[in-house]
Amino acid sequence: MKQIIAYWIHKLGLTGLAPLVPLSPVQFTSVFADVLQTSLPQPSVTIKGDLEIAISTADGKESTIYLDNAYTQ
């Protein structure tokens, strides 16, 4: 009996009980913007919409990042 219980504890521990749920486009954009904000020297990161981020640097350059491909991957 102990072996059966140990087997199921081991099996459930490796597989988990809850399925993984992917991030929504809004959540993905927010996480991506947070990482950019902390990893770049002095950017101004603005979320323009779902899967779209604008970056402005200190010297006035602006870029828009579209996250569609990153999100699907």
Task: Report phi then psi at 72, rounded to 5.
Answer: -70, -25
Query: What tokens were used for 2?
Result: 């102990």
Number of other CB atoms surrounding residue 53 within 10 Å: 20
- Give residue-wise pLDDT tens across range 19-60: 678 889 999 999 999 988 888 778 789 999 999 999 988 888
Q: Tell me, what's the pLDDT at 21?
A: 82
Residue type, 29: T
Q: What is the pTM of this model?
A: 0.68
What pairing do the DSSP bridges indicate for beta strands 52-56 and 44-49?
antiparallel
